[in-house]
Homo-oligomer: A and B are copies of this chain.
Amino acid sequence: MTRPIVFLTDYGYRDPFVGTCHGVIARIAPDTRVIDLTHAVPRQDVLRGAVELARSIPYMPTDAVFVAVVDPGVGSDRREVALVAGPALMVGPDNGVLSLAAETLGGVDAAVEISSEEVVLSPVSRTFHGRDVFAPAAAHLAAGMALEELGPAVDPSSLQRLEDAGVADGRVLVVNGRRLPRAGTFAELPEREPGIIVDSEGYLAIVVNHGNAATALGLAAGDAVVVESG
C-alpha cells in the first residue's frame, strides 16, 4: 500500500530533470503512482507554484505526497522540509511553495528538515535537490517511511510563508487579472473599492473598506485566487 505522489516543478520539458526524478522515485517505491501536476511553472516563480499546488488539492488523491520544487534558493541555506497537513504529506524547499496548499488543508501539523543519510542521495549536488533530496524523500514517504525518520523536527510556525518570503512585494498587485492597490490599513483604501493589506498574521488580505471583498470580486469560499506583482 503506497501513497501516490503529486509532482510539480519549474523544470520544464527540455531536460531530463523530471524523468530523472521519476527514476529515483521508481528505485525506492516501484509501485507508487506519480501524477505530474505540471512542470511548466514559470522558472523560479514560487508564488505561481504555490498557487497551482493549492488549487490542485480538491482534485488530487487525499492521501498523496505532494512534492513541489520551485527553488530559487537552492544552494543557499534555505531548509529542505517535509510536513504533514491533514491527510496529505508534502515535500519541498522551505520557501513558501508548500504553504498555500498546507493552509488549504488546515495548516501544518508537523514538519521535519530532510537530512537522513538513509534518504538523501550522496553526494548531494549543489543544484539538483529535486533528484537528490526531494524525490527520494517523497518516495520514502510514499513507501511508508514515518515523517520523523527523514530528519529532526522543525517548528511548523518557523516555516516560510509567501509574505515572509517577500514574493508579494510591490505597490500594486494583480488579483485574478484585476489590478488592486496595496495599502497599509483598511483606512488608506478608497471606500467600497477592493485593495490589499497585510493582515495581523502576515498574510496578504484582499479587502474592501466598508464592503465585502468576496462580493466585490465574485469569489466564494474555496475559490482559487492568483496574485501577481503588478
A20-B37, A22-B35, A38-B16 given; A27·B61 CB < 8 A: yes
The number of chain A residues touching the other chain, given as a range, is 20 to 34
Q: Is A33 an interface residue (CB 8 A)?
A: yes
A36-B19, A37-B16 given; A26·B56 CB < 8 A: no
Query: How many whole Å from A51's CB to the nearest CB in chain B?
Result: 10
Q: Is A182 an interface residue (CB 8 A)?
A: no
Cβ-defined contact, A23 with B40, below 8 A:
no
Chain B residues whose C-beta falls within 8 Å of the C-beta of A35 in the assembled complex: 19, 22-23, 26
Q: Please, which residue of chain B has its CB at the minimum distance from the CB of A7?
A: B19
Q: Please, which residue of chain B has its CB at the minimum distance from the CB of A123?
A: B220
Q: Work out how many copies of this chain go into the complex.
A: 3
CA distance A6 to B18 in the complex (A): 13
Report A1-58 residues with CB < 8 Å from chain B CB. Answer: 4, 6, 8, 13-16, 18-20, 22-24, 26-27, 30, 33, 35-38, 40, 52, 55-56
A14-B40, A33-B30, A38-B16 given; A23·B56 CB < 8 A: yes
Chain B residues whose C-beta falls within 8 Å of the C-beta of A18 in the assembled complex: 36
Cβ-defined contact, A23 with B38, below 8 A:
no
A4-B30, A30-B33, A33-B30 given; A61·B16 CB < 8 A: no
Report A178-202 residues with CB < 8 Å from chain B CB. Answer: none
Cβ-defined contact, A19 with B37, below 8 A:
yes
9 contacts between A and B (CB under 8 A): A8-B16, A19-B35, A19-B37, A23-B35, A23-B56, A26-B35, A26-B60, A26-B61, A27-B60
A-B pairs, top 6 by smallest CB distance, nearest first, are A19-B37, A16-B38, A23-B60, A23-B59, A22-B35, A14-B40
Q: What is A's interface to B at a CB cutoff of 8 Å?
A: 4, 6, 8, 13-16, 18-20, 22-24, 26-27, 30, 33, 35-38, 40, 52, 55-56, 59-62, 131
